[in-house]
Amino acid sequence: MCSTLLPILEQKAGRLLLNGYPTGVEVCDAMVHGGPYPATSDARGTSVGSLAIDRFLRPVCYQNCPDELLPDALKNGNPLGILRLVDGVNTREGVEM
């Protein structure tokens, strides 16, 4: 089972944890490893915090995708109530198209 599932999860997850404990590292601006030498060899990247999003991101574009086929987090009606930036304003409201 694990030998079948592991290759699939490797393509989808940033960390696979088997029989262990998570690090407790949060993806937020305050959590950053790295900095000037000798703390890291390259201060432009980090393995944790919000900068890690850029490092490990696999962007997906949903061009001309109907709203009903989008993930809930991207739907115009915002069914998850996610705080989003719309026309320069933070809002949890849906967007009418």
More confident residue, 75 or 1: 75
Two tokens at 22? 């998570």
pLDDT for 27: 67
Q: What is the dihedral of CA 25, 27, 30, 34, to 10 degrees?
A: 70
pTM above 0.75, yes or no: no
Alpha helices in the chain (DSSP H): 2-12, 51-56
> How many other CB atoms are there within 10 angstroms of residue 12's CB atom?
8
Per-domain residue ranges for the chain?
Answer: 22-59, 64-97
Assess contact for 45 and 57: CB atoms under 8 A: no
Give 30-80 pLDDT, tens digit per residue: 766 655 555 555 556 556 667 667 766 777 788 888 898 888 999 999 999
